[in-house]
Amino acid sequence: MNTQTPVSGPGIVVGVDGSPGALRAVEWAAVGAAGRRLPLRLVFAVDPSGEAGTDLAGRRISRAAETALAEASRRALVADRSTEMTTEVVYSSPAAALTRGAGDAAMVCLGSNGVRPAHPGHRASTATEVVLMADCPVAVVRGPSPRYGWAVARIDSEPSLADVLHLAVTEAALRGLPLRLLTTWTVRTADDEAMDLGRRLRRNLDRWRRRHPHLDVVVVACPDLDEFLSHNAHRIALFVGPRRQLHGVGTVIDPSVEVATRLLDCPVIIDTGVGGSGMTDTSFENAGSEGLHVPSGMS
């Protein structure tokens, strides 16, 4: 299958397999790519451990890839007609295909049933593998993406505080969503460390409010995330969470992300703690009417 000439610069990588979940991910990512004026990179993975070795299987897979990528391209243009995109077939496992060469990507996006840790004798989900492998934020799209509601972010500690806030503010401003920042501490329970984090949060938030003066941002003390998400699931259009790193053990999925993918049907963005070049401050230095493009059909 022919691959379109790549568009220069970082892009948003989306996994395509012809499934309804993947198409929903394409539509959601297209809005984000157009808003950032970045290309969409549609990737169809062919696992070499499967049946692709025979000529007949190879032709069948080639037709399936062409059909899936064509429909994904059509859906992307329906979501935002200004979307630029490339398509690619990669012979690799899905997780490796989506993260290969994604070091300069702004984000990797895929449709999924959730992010779950691996258990003995069971393989981790593709979404979990992508989160653990990616060098940029990862968006997991579950169910139809709401166009209205809150963008919600879990704020816990440095160094993830600034990165998660960056992701959350950017997406909320881009998609016209009010933002709710959930802290793990309350005034009553705050110790010296929590008070310091609160001051850092206020300083970061003041900077973003100057860039986005019309953004509705509220900080919510939320010691019980399960209760908050369960009670407000119908109001939440997007969740942003951190990835936790444990020294000597390896990288594990942050518990807040597991809770969000279990209780919510909206897209969940996981900050990987490293960030692609498409998510740096220079990309959104003039955030607001100059730094972000509001896609067609949105206000």
Dump pLDDT digits (tens) for 24-60: 999 999 999 999 999 999 999 998 776 655 666 778 8
- So what's the pLDDT on residue 273? 66
Question: Per mean pLDDT, which range of 3-7, 220-224, 225-229 is the poorest?
Answer: 3-7
What percent of the chain has pLDDT above 90? 52
- So what's the pLDDT on residue 291? 39
* Side-chain-side CA neighbours of residue 111 (13 Å): 20
User: Could you give phi then psi for residue 80, rounded to 5 degrees?
Assistant: -155, 115
Task: Report yes or no: 54 and 79 within 8 Å, Cβ to Cβ.
Answer: no
Report the distance separating Cα 238 and Cα 145, nearest Å: 8
Question: Per mean pLDDT, which range of 67-76, 141-150, 173-182, 248-257 is the poorest?
Answer: 248-257
- So what's the pLDDT on residue 299? 30
Examine the pLDDT at 7 and tell me if it is beyond 90. no
Per CATH, which fold does 12-141 belong to? Rossmann fold (3.40.50)
Q: Which residues pair with 138 in a beta bridge?
A: 108, 270
pLDDT tens digits for range 65-90 = 999 999 999 999 999 999 999 999 99
* Side-chain-side CA neighbours of residue 5 (13 Å): 1
- So what's the pLDDT on residue 279? 45
How many Å separate Cα 262 from the centre of its chain? 16
Report the distance separating Cα 16 and Cα 22, nearest Å: 5
In this prediction, residues 4-10 reach a mean pLDDT of 46
Report the distance separating Cα 114 and Cα 122, nearest Å: 15
Examine the pLDDT at 206 and tell me if it is beyond 90. yes
At residue 3 the predicted structure's pLDDT band, cuts being 50, 70 and 90, is very low
> Taken in order 281, 164, 230, 268, is the CA torsion positive or negative?
positive
Closest CA to 235 of 177, 168, 181: 177
At residue 277 the predicted structure's pLDDT band, cuts being 50, 70 and 90, is very low
- So what's the pLDDT on residue 250? 53
Residue 143 in 3-state DSSP? Answer: coil
In this prediction, residues 179-202 reach a mean pLDDT of 80
Residue 110 in 3-state DSSP? Answer: strand
Task: Report yes or no: 252 and 246 within 8 Å, Cβ to Cβ.
Answer: yes
Closest CA to 167 of 76, 278, 92: 278
Per CATH, which fold does 150-266 belong to? Rossmann fold (3.40.50)
Please give the residue that has the higher pLDDT: either 228 or 272: 228
Q: Is the pTM of the predicted complex or chain greater than 0.85?
A: no
Task: Report yes or no: 124 and 131 within 8 Å, Cβ to Cβ.
Answer: no
What percent of the chain has pLDDT above 70? 75
In this prediction, residues 110-132 reach a mean pLDDT of 67
Per DSSP bridges, beta strands 236-242 and 107-111 are unpaired
> In which residue ranges of the chain is CATH 3.40.50.620 found?
12-141, 150-266
Token pair of 207, please?
């900077």
How many Å separate Cα 251 from the centre of its chain? 18
Examine the pLDDT at 192 and tell me if it is beyond 70. yes
